[in-house]
């Protein structure tokens, strides 16, 4: 999985007014926790954070703070402003090689479905799948080949196999499929 580096500044203030002032400066308050460590409060530039938050990709994030400490983390939770869509707060979850990591990974569809060539319509209901694997085995994306997908067939999460990882999305979750249309019924 791709790594993304981000630099932050330790913060001490935690009140509403202090957080509002930080956001006015173009900073996003962040919290890092997990992996048997104390919570770390810091801020990150909103501009630097957009490269991670405004993409469908998943990253392992290398957080470097101004006090010299570094952490390996993943995005755990994001809070957004309901009107302006600005990021208000980010929770990072510290990870290590010792424990498996559970993360959402984007799905890449490859191939041309047989059912579409017969007049059906392709649909995709899930853009990502949740997998669990050691940090070193996390893939950048999960590739799903739809070449053998016929009319009125679908692929479920339980059918996806990821080498070195286990898919923990509910096995009955539909990823994609081909619906029959009037044109395919007439043929």
Question: Is the CB of residue 36 less than 8 Å from the CB of residue 93?
Answer: no
The answer to whether residue 177 scores a pLDDT higher than 80 is: yes
**Residue indicated by tokens 């755990």:** 76
pLDDT tens-digit series, residues 11-38: 887 788 888 889 999 999 999 998 778 8
The CA R_g of the chain, rounded to the nearest whole Å, is: 21
Task: Give the per-residue pLDDT at 98.
Answer: 85
The answer to whether residue 92 scores a pLDDT higher than 80 is: yes
Looking at 66, 94, 122, which one is the last position of a domain? Answer: 94
Q: Would the pTM count as exceeding 0.85?
A: no
Question: Is the CB of residue 134 less than 8 Å from the CB of residue 100?
Answer: yes
Residues 7 and 86 in one domain: yes
What is the domain range of residue 127? 101-186
In which order are the strands placed within the sheet that holds 174-179? 121-124, 174-179, 153-156
CA–CA dist 168, 107 (Å, integer): 14
Residues 109 and 67 in one domain: no
* Total number of domains in the chain: 2
Longest dimension (CA), the chain: 69
Task: Give the per-residue pLDDT at 187.
Answer: 57
The answer to whether residue 140 scores a pLDDT higher than 70 is: yes
Task: Tell me what the mean pLDDT of segment 36-48 comes to.
Answer: 90
Angle at 55 between CA 111 and CA 21, to 5 degrees: 170
Residues 81 and 133 in one domain: no
Q: How many CB atoms lie within 10 A of CB 131?
A: 25
Report the CATH number that the domain containing residue 75 is assigned in CATH. Answer: 2.40.240.10
CA–CA dist 156, 126 (Å, integer): 10
Task: Give the per-residue pLDDT at 2.
Answer: 87
CA–CA dist 126, 157 (Å, integer): 9
- Tabulate helix, strand, coil % of the chain (nearest 5): 15, 45, 40
Residues 153 and 83 in one domain: no
Report the CATH number that the domain containing residue 154 is assigned in CATH. Answer: 2.170.120.20
């Amino acid at each position: 999985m791709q790594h993304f580096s981000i630099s932050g500044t330790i913060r001490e203030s935690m009140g509403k007014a202090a957080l509002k002032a930080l956001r006015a400066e173009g900073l996003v308050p962040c919290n890092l926790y997990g992996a048997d460590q104390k919570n770390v409060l810091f801020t990150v530039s909103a501009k630097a954070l957009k490269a991670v938050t405004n993409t469908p990709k998943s990253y392992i994030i290398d957080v470097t703070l101004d006090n010299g400490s570094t952490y390996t983390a993943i995005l755990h939770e994001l809070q957004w402003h309901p009107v302006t869509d600005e990021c208000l707060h980010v929770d990072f979850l510290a990870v290590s090689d010792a424990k498996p990591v559970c993360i959402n990974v984007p799905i890449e569809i490859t191939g041309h479905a047989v059912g579409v060539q017969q007049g059906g319509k392709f649909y995709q209901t899930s853009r990502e799948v949740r997998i669990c694997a050691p940090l070193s085995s996390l893939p950048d994306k999960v590739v799903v080949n739809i070449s053998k997908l016929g009319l009125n067939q679908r692929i479920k999460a339980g059918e996806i196999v990821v080498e070195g990882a286990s898919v923990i999305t509910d096995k009955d979750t539909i990823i994609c499929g081909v619906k029959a249309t009037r044109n395919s019924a007439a043929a």
